[in-house]
């Protein structure tokens, strides 16, 4: 009796692809309705390549505001690092009104899907410059920042602490690339007890005088649409991570996609975009730009699942050695 096996004549490459599909590890978090991918096969191939290389080849580059922090919590917008400074402890009522007016003017431009980054850029420079000038005029004291953070409604995404802890345990560098205020950002993660030694930060830092009063902002201005220039200008910091050619990039803006441009040795880059606001208007542009798009997801479930998958071989190795 002769049995015909139709796939026996199939090219080896096709058989390997079939075997890959049959033996792949399913990640339940990627099947949620809030998760969208234009090229699922590319995502899976990139994840397998990163897993094969192991945790020692991985680095994470992430935005902060509305990426590691929530967009909204209990029906209210979560403050950005700039908005945390909008506190009566730090600025007067007149400046509070002015900052709100600036937000209402420029935020719609920042997320306008009909404008390209080049068109948005001058408006972002105007916005950030005006806000920083306002803050400098208020003579904010350095010793009041910790209290302002404690009094704020800043909330990290659910599962964010586990994300930070896993990266630290696996010695995976985390580069936080933020257009926010670095001093406030540091205080938020410090108060959440996740400021581990593997965390590196590029952001807008305050410059205080000898009495501890804000007098300026240090270095080059970083806003949401000039992170490529920021990445290239901080190339030395990124070169320190040259031994980690695989990048997991997290952001909530198309401008965040350029954060890894300073990584000259990058081999595999997997991008995850949190689409928090004006979802329908911006969905197409996000799908065309990010590998994975998360719709109104206030958790770190998907990044945590991806991270666990990539480092799973390292975790298994530790268990075997115990």
Stretch 207-212: mean pLDDT: 97
Pair 70, 155: CB distance under 8 Å: yes
Residue 266 counted as domain residue: yes
In which domain, by residue range, is 205 found?
A: 28-77+155-319
- Of 198, 210, 184, the C-alpha closest to 240 is 198
Residue 140 counted as domain residue: no
Stretch 16-31: mean pLDDT: 64
Name the more confident of 297 and 8.
297
Strand partners, 181: 204
Q: Give the highest mean pLDDT range of 16-30, 111-125, 290-304.
A: 290-304
Percent of the chain having pLDDT more than 90?
76
Rounded to whole angstroms, the Cα distance separating 232 from 136 reads 27
Q: What is the CA radius of gyration of the chain?
A: 22
Residue 134 counted as domain residue: no
> SS3 of 219, please?
coil
Say yes or no to pLDDT of 12 above 80: no
Q: Give the model's confidence band at 242: pLDDT under 50 very low, under 70 low, under 90 confident, else very high.
A: low
Percent of the chain having pLDDT more than 70?
85
Q: Give the model's confidence band at 11: pLDDT under 50 very low, under 70 low, under 90 confident, else very high.
A: low
Query: What is the pLDDT, as a whole number, of residue 175?
Result: 94
Output the 3-class SS for 74-110: CCEECCCHHHHCCCCCCCCHHHHHHHHHHHHHHHHHH
Say yes or no to pLDDT of 321 above 60: no
* Cα–Cα distances in angstroms (integers) from residue 246 to residues 48, 53, 203, in the given order: 11, 8, 22
Strand partners, 247: 59, 269
Name the more confident of 261 and 246.
246
DSSP 322: -
Q: From the CB of residue 83, how many other CB atoms can be counted at a distance below 10 Å?
A: 21
Q: What pTM does this model have? A: 0.88
**Least confident segment among 79-93, 217-231, 300-314:** 217-231
User: Hey, which residues are catalytic here?
Assistant: 63, 65
Per-residue pLDDT of 72-107, as tens digits, reads 999 999 999 999 998 888 999 999 999 999 999 999
Rounded to whole angstroms, the Cα distance separating 96 from 102 reads 10
Residue tagged 């933020």 (tokens): 178
Output the domain CATH number for residue 226: 3.40.50.1000
Residue 131 counted as domain residue: no
Residue 160 counted as domain residue: yes
Residue 46 counted as domain residue: yes
Strand partners, 201: 176
Residue 49 counted as domain residue: yes
Q: What domain count does the chain have? A: 1
Residue tagged 């979802």 (tokens): 279
**Least confident segment among 26-30, 131-135, 172-176, 238-242:** 238-242
Torsion region of 201: left, alpha or beta (phi above 0 gives left; psi -120 to 50 gives alpha):
beta
Query: What is the pLDDT, as a whole number, of residue 87?
Result: 85
Stretch 213-241: mean pLDDT: 79
Residue 48 counted as domain residue: yes
């Amino acid at each position: 009796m002769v049995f015909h096996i139709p796939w026996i004549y199939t090219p080896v490459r096709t058989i390997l692809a079939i075997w890959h599909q049959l033996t792949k590890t399913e990640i339940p978090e990627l099947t949620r309705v809030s998760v969208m991918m234009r090229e699922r096969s590319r995502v899976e191939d990139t994840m397998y390549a990163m897993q094969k290389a192991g945790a020692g080849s991985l680095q994470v580059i992430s935005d902060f505001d509305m990426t590691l922090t929530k967009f909204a919590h209990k029906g209210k917008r979560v403050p950005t690092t700039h908005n945390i400074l909008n506190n009566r402890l730090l600025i007067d009522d007149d400046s509070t009104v002015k900052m709100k007016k600036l937000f209402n003017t420029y935020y719609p431009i920042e997320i306008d899907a009909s404008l390209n980054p080049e068109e948005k850029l001058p408006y972002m420079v105007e916005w950030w410059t005006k806000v920083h000038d306002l803050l400098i005029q208020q003579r904010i004291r350095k010793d009041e920042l910790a209290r302002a953070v404690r009094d704020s409604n800043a909330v990290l995404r659910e599962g964010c602490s586990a994300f930070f802890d896993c990266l630290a345990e696996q010695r995976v560098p985390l580069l936080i690339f933020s257009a926010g205020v670095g001093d406030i950002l540091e205080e938020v993660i410090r108060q959440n007890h996740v400021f581990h030694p593997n965390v590196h930060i590029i952001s807008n830092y305050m410059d205080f005088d000898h009495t501890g009063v804000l007098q300026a902002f240090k270095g080059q201005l970083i806003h949401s649409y000039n992170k490529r220039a920021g990445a290239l200008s901080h190339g030395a910091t990124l070169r320190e991570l040259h031994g980690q050619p695989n990048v997991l990039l997290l952001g909530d803006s198309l401008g965040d996609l350029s954060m890894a441009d300073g990584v000259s040795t990058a081999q595999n880059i997997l991008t995850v975009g949190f689409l928090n606001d004006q979802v329908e208007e911006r969905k197409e542009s996000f799908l065309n730009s990010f590998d994975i798009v998360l719709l109104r997801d206030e958790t770190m479930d998907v990044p945590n699942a991806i991270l666990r998958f990539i480092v799973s071989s390292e975790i298994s190795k530790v268990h075997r050695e115990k």
